[in-house]
């Protein structure tokens, strides 16, 4: 007997599913109609040309959810929206529903030849050990060797696969994945060849997968089937690649030291149920200065996750790990914060700095920038951006999902981020004159090249450090921009780092000046903010030190930033920075 074996991953987990009866278009139309003018059931049936019983059923359901009310008069009963119903109509929010949650175990395989996925029950699966036993018992086994990267097994990729498998109707959606039950196993998908025909291929198999089986079955005995990975997908976007149109207030650019502290405390005090904080470093003493506000949030029922990413070297990682242990002891010793604050003990290896917090309106707010929220004395000049648009924050959550999801479906916080992103994207879009993009990894370098090539009158780069990558990362792009008539290029930094010493920095300053670039070293006031601003309307605020580091295409979540295109966003930010650094004028 001939067996064709294609390598696969088998994923198993327990999934909670929310199931609710969806709202019909008739329900929404009736609510909208009575919001314009109070009407009777007879009038609604007449105007909609619907059977009377259909209108009655719809009105009954709308009343159960307290979306409409009936006012009785001497001659008729008129239907009009309740205050809650009026708010729903005016805001454009989705209608509420009451879901029933049920759990079931899901198992699927991801075949490595073309990246397709199938339900495990439809596939003949064998472990490597069992396949070897079949070979020892006389079966001819043709094991397909797959060249190439293969399909992504990231949390994002597997969550999207689960959505397609689990949600069987409009009223179903994933509510949670039990990370404790999530497992991934290597193995093989088996096809038996009988009379030259490959059996055991599921009906849902893709044409590419069928071709792999057919080509393997047609080989001569002893030939080894080699298959190049077919799908070009790498499964998982680190961030959004196009700007999201939205409203943006220039006051949501937070500049300064104490201003960052006020921003963090505002997010904590206004949080409804959840806060997630990612700080590159942790300092128990600095955390202690914020402990009263964190405790107050916990008393209100807010759960807080604390993440840290110091991974530049073993020393900084060990120092932050020790700090995480001390903070955990502090949290557990207080009855108000115990079980409400979770300090993650695994380093994320990311230099990003962000905060995510929900609101009482079931929305989320994000703050992204340069501030190490839980280790800074809030004395240096920092820059952060507060993001409020639902679609933009959804992209932030999706990016955080990628950062935290390297353990696959076992990462519970990554699952929460995926669900938050999905729910936020259901919100109605609010268009404005701003465009916002979440920037990760090597997208920073692409933006630098874009700014260098398109700046018409100014290019300003802010970096805390001046390091070994200063010339290719910041100086050369600035020189390229400064070579055009009328373009002023400026780089501002606080301190040399790595192999660069003060004398090297002075030499770079002289060389840059010869090529039209103003390389500025800050004096008493320290700049910890990282930004890129060109002309009047483009600003990037990020965690990346433009003049001493670069993005990593293999780990894009190592640096996270925000690109804002909006009227006067760059000009306004630079004007505010000039109050701290007059040399920028």
Give the per-residue SS3 of 433-483.
CEEEEEEECCHHHHHHHHHHHHCCCEEEEEEEEECCCHHHHHHHHHHHHHC
In this prediction, residues 458-477 reach a mean pLDDT of: 96
Q: Identify the top-confidence range among 124-133, 221-230, 313-322.
A: 124-133
Q: Minimal CA–CA distance to 486: which of 533, 535, 537?
A: 535
Percent of the chain with pLDDT over 90: 76
Greatest extent of the chain over all pairs of C-alpha atoms, in Å: 92
Place of tokens 């700049």: 527
Q: What is the pLDDT of residues 77-100, one digit of tens each?
A: 899 999 999 998 988 778 887 888
User: What pLDDT sits at residue 460?
Assistant: 98
Between CA 573 and CA 318 the distance in angstroms is: 36
Average pLDDT, the chain: 92
pTM to 2 decimal places:
0.88
CB neighbour class for 25 (10 Å; exposed up to 12, middle 13-18, buried from 19):
exposed
Q: 3-state DSSP: the chain helix, strand, coil percent, rounded to 5?
A: 35, 30, 35
Q: Look at 197-206, 264-273, 345-354, 454-463 and tell me which has the smallest mean pLDDT.
A: 197-206
Predicted local confidence at residue 170, as pLDDT: 62
Report the SS3 class of residue 252: helix
Tell me how far apart the alpha carbons of residues 82 and 585 are, in angstroms, rounded to a whole number: 56
What does the buried/exposed string (b/e) look like for 273-286 if buried means 16 or more CB atoms within 10 Å of the residue's CB?
ebbbbbbbbbbbeb
Give the separation between CA 166 and CA 63, rounded to whole angstroms.
31
Domain annotation for the chain: domains and CATH numbers: 2-19+101-228 (no CATH), 25-90 (1.10.10.10), 244-431 (3.30.870.10), 436-584 (3.30.870.10)
């Amino acid at each position: 007997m001939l067996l064709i074996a294609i390598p696969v991953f088998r994923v198993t987990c327990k999934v909670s599913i929310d199931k609710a009866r969806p709202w019909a278009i008739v329900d929404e139309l009736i609510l909208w109609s009575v919001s314009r003018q109070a009407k009777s059931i007879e009038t609604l049936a007449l105007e909609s040309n619907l059977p009377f019983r259909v209108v009655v059923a719809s009105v009954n359901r709308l009343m159960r959810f307290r979306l409409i009310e009936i006012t009785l008069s001497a001659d008729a009963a008129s239907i009009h929206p309740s205050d809650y119903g009026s708010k729903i109509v005016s805001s454009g929010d989705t209608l509420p529903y009451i879901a029933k949650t049920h759990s079931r175990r899901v198992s699927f395989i991801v075949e490595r030849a073309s990246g397709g996925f199938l339900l495990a029950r439809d596939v003949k699966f064998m472990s490597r050990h069992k396949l070897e036993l079949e070979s020892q018992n006389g079966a001819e086994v043709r094991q397909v060797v797959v060249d190439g990267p293969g399909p992504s097994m990231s949390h994002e990729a597997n969550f999207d696969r689960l959505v397609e498998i689990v949600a069987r109707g409009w009223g179903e959606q994933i509510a949670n994945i039990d990370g404790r039950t999530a497992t991934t196993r290597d193995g093989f998908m088996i096809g038996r060849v009988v009379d030259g025909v490959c059996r055991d291929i599921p009906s849902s198999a893709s044409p590419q997968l069928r071709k792999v089986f057919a080509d393997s079955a047609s080989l001569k005995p002893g030939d080894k089937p080699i298959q190049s990975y077919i799908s070009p997908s790498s499964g998982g976007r680190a961030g959004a690649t196009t700007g999201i149109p939205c409203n943006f207030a220039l006051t949501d650019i937070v500049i300064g030291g104490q201003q960052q502290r006020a921003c963090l405390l505002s997010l904590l005090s206004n949080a409804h149920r959840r806060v997630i904080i990612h700080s590159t470093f942790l300092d128990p003493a600095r955390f202690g200065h914020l402990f009263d506000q964190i405790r107050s949030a916990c008393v209100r029922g807010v759960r807080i996750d604390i993440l840290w990413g110091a991974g530049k070297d073993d020393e900084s990682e060990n120092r932050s790990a020790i700090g995480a242990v001390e903070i955990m002891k502090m949290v557990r010793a207080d009855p108000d914060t115990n079980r409400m604050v979770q300090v993650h003990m695994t380093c994320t290896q990311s230099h990003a700095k962000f905060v995510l917090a929900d609101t009482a309106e079931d929305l989320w707010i994000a703050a992204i920038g340069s501030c190490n929220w839980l280790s800074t004395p809030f004395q240096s000049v920092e820059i952060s951006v507060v993001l409020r648009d639902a679609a933009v924050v959804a992209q932030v959550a999706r990016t955080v999902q990628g950062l935290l999801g390297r353990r696959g479906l076992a990462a519970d916080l990554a699952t929460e981020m995926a669900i938050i992103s999905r729910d936020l994207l259901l919100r109605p879009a609010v268009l404005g004159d701003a465009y916002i993009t979440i920037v990760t990894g090597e997208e920073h370098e692409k933006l630098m090249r874009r700014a260098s090539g398109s700046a018409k009158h100014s290019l300003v780069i802010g970096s805390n450090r001046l390091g070994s990558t200063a010339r290719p990362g910041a100086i050369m792009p600035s020189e390229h921009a400064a070579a055009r008539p009328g373009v002023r290029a400026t780089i501002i930094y606080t301190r040399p780092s790595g192999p660069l010493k003060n004398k090297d920095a002075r030499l770079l300053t002289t060389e840059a000046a010869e090529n039209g670039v103003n390389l500025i070293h800050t004096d008493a006031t320290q700049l910890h903010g990282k930004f890129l601003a060109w002309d009047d309307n483009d600003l990037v605020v990020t965690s990346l030190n433009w003049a001493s580091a670069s993005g990593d295409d293999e780990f894009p979540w190592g640096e996270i930033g925000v690109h804002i295109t909006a009227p006067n966003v760059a000009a306004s930010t630079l004007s505010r920075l000039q109050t701290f650094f007059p040399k920028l004028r």
